[in-house]
Amino acid sequence: MRTTRGHSLTELLCTTALFGGLLAIALPAFDGLVEGTRANAVAHRLHAELAMAREAALFGRRPVTFCRSTNQIDCAPVGAWSEGTMTFEDPNRNDRRDPGERLIRATRKADFQGLHLIDHSVRRHIRFRPDGRSAGTNLTLRLCAQDLEPLRLVIINTGGRVRMTGAPRGTARCGTDASPW
């Protein structure tokens, strides 16, 4: 005759409690990993989009404008960059997409995956000149978590070079104007 061997209720409860404890410790770290991966994906896409705008200006020998846009038709004068953006050829340098001006790329709010893209210098647009340089001053865009904790910085210098870095420790939260970034 065969006997079946199993686990007692006490053993199952202890195993379940141990597994629950380990899961409670691991989940917050996993959330940070997911948010970091999302931030990297959005920052890399933004970096590529700005590099593409610069390249379009160089090869097309025309000014190209990158601006905030919620409707992919007009540049928005204020607001977070994460509400949507638009990249277009702007030969008359009026910072508006006129009929006949080629739309290069547009993004929507959903493309930022719940992250915020903020510029504290209140620039209305980023323009790349036909020689690839960026008009205006150096600019730092901060990519922030939903709680406004800075995650990544996207930096455009006057030479048109676009680079990306992690937000250094001690960087002020994205909702404050006292930040050196």
Look up the CATH superfamily of 31-166. Answer: minor pseudopilin epsh domain (3.55.40.10)
pLDDT confidence of residue 88: 93
For the segment 58-63, the average pLDDT, to the nearest whole number, is 91
Give 120-147 as a 3 state SS string: CCCCCEEEECCCCCECCCCEEEEEECCC
Is the predicted pLDDT of residue 144 greater than 80, yes or no?
yes
Amino acid at 37: T
Instruction: Tell the residue number behind the tokens 């890399």, with chain if given.
Output: 44
Per-residue b or e along 86-125, where b marks 16 or more CB atoms closer than 10 Å to that residue's CB: bbbbbeeeebebeeebeebebbeeeebeebbbbbbeebeb
pLDDT confidence of residue 87: 92
